Chain A
Amino acid sequence: MDDETRRYMVFERAGRTCAVPADRVAEVAVNLHVTPVPLTGFAVKGLVPIHGHPVALVDLAAWFSESPSPAIAEEIVAQMIVLHIDIPGIVSAIRFALIVDRVIGYRSIDRMAASSHVSQIPFVIGSSAVGTAPDLNSVIQIDPNRLFMTTLASMPAYPLASTGL
Chain B
Amino acid sequence: MSRSGDKHSYGPDDARVLRALFLEEVGNYLDRILQAAEGFVHSTSHPDFVPGEELDALFRALHTLKGAAGSVGHGAIAQATHDLEDLCADIRHGRLTPTPGIIERMEDELGALRALVEGARSRPSSGVPPVAATAPSLLVDRRKENERRLVGDRRGQDGAVQVESSHLDRMLEHVGDLVVLRTRMERALGRLQGVRSQLTELKSEFDRLPEAAALSKRLAEATLELNDNLRDTLSETESLRVTTEGLNNTVRHARLMRVDWIFHRLRAVLHEAEKATGKKAQLITGGGNLELDRTLLEKLFPPLLHLVRNAIAHGVEFPEMRRQAGKPETGRIEILARLDGDFVFLTFSDDGAGVDRERARRTLIDQGRLAADETLDDERLVAALFEVGFSTRETADTMAGRGMGLDIVRTTVHSLGGEVNCETARGRGTRFDMSFPLTTAITEALLFKVGGQVYALPQSHVLGTSPGSPEAAAASTEAALDLRILFGTTASIDSATIAARWGNRTFSIVCDRVIGPRTIVIRPSGAIIGRIPYFAGTTVSGSGKAQLVLNTRALFELTRLAKKAGTAQTSATL
Contact = CB atoms under 8 A, between A and B. Distances in A.
A152 B527 CA distance: 8
Interface in B34-90: 35-42, 54
Interface in A54-85: 54-56, 58, 74
B36 A74 contact: no
Interface in A30-56: 33, 35-41, 44, 46-49, 52-56
B78 to A, nearest CB: 24
Given A88-B38, A94-B527, A160-B558, A47 B546 contact: yes
Interface stretch (B118-126, B331-339, B508-516, B529-537): B529-537
B551 A47 contact: no
Given A40-B532, A47-B529, A165 B557 contact: yes
A46 B410 CA distance: 31
Interface string A145-165: 000100110010011100111
A37 to B, nearest CB: 6
B172 to A, nearest CB: 14
B392 interface: no
Given A39-B487, A39-B534, A47-B546, A53 B523 contact: yes
Contacts of A48: 546
A1 interface: no
B452 interface: yes
Contact of B180 (A36, A52, A164): A52
Contact of A54 (B487, B523, B553, B558): B523
Contact of A56 (B526, B540, B543): B526
A38 B551 CA distance: 14
Nearest to A88: B38
A80 to B, nearest CB: 13
Contacts of B535: 37
B163 interface: no
Interface residues of B, number: 50
Interface residues of A, number: 38
B528 interface: yes
Nearest to B414: A164
A27 B396 CA distance: 52
B414 A47 contact: no
Contacts of B538: 47, 54
A165 B526 contact: no
Contacts of A158: 532-534
B531 A160 contact: no
A138 to B, nearest CB: 28
Contacts of A160: 533, 554, 557-558, 561
Contacts of A49: 540, 544-546
Contacts of B177: 52
A89 B531 contact: no
Given A35-B547, A37-B548, A90-B39, A56 B528 contact: yes
A163 B557 contact: yes
A95 interface: yes
Interface in B486-542: 486-489, 523-529, 531-535, 538, 540
A40 B38 CA distance: 29
B133 interface: no
Given A95-B526, A160-B557, A54 B540 contact: yes
A96 B526 contact: yes
A117 to B, nearest CB: 23
Main secondary structure of the interface of A (DSSP, over half): mixed
Given A91-B527, A148-B527, A35 B453 contact: yes
A164 B415 CA distance: 8
A125 B61 CA distance: 35
Nearest to B184: A52
Nearest to A56: B528
B528 A152 contact: yes
Given A38-B487, A54-B523, A164-B414, A88 B529 contact: no
A91 B534 CA distance: 21
A74 B454 CA distance: 11
A52 B540 contact: yes
B176 to A, nearest CB: 9
B131 interface: no
A44 B530 CA distance: 12
Nearest to B551: A165
B138 interface: no
B1 interface: no
Interface string A13-41: 00000000000000000000101111111
Contacts of B35: 89
Contact of A74 (B453, B528, B529, B554): B453
B486 A38 contact: yes
B161 interface: no
Contacts of A148: 527-528
Interface in A93-113: 94-96
B574 interface: yes
Interface in B544-569: 544-548, 551, 553-554, 557-558, 561
A55 B530 CA distance: 10
A126 B453 CA distance: 39
Contacts of B527: 56, 91, 94, 96, 148, 152
Contacts of B574: 159
B239 to A, nearest CB: 23
Given A54-B538, A90-B42, A165 B553 contact: yes
A58 B529 CA distance: 11
A160 B489 CA distance: 21
B193 to A, nearest CB: 23
Nearest to B521: A52
Q: Which of A152, A155, A163 counts the most chain B CB atoms within 10 A?
A: A163
A148 B527 CA distance: 9
Given A35-B546, A88-B42, A155 B561 contact: no
A103 B36 CA distance: 38
A70 B383 CA distance: 41
17 contacts: A33-B545, A37-B529, A39-B486, A47-B529, A47-B538, A49-B546, A54-B523, A54-B526, A56-B528, A58-B528, A74-B452, A89-B37, A90-B39, A94-B526, A148-B527, A158-B533, A163-B557
Given A37-B529, A58-B528, A89-B38, 7 more contacts: A37-B532, A49-B546, A52-B523, A94-B526, A94-B527, A152-B527, A158-B533
Interface of A: 33, 35-41, 44, 46-49, 52-56, 58, 74, 87-91, 94-96, 148, 151-152, 155, 158-160, 163-165
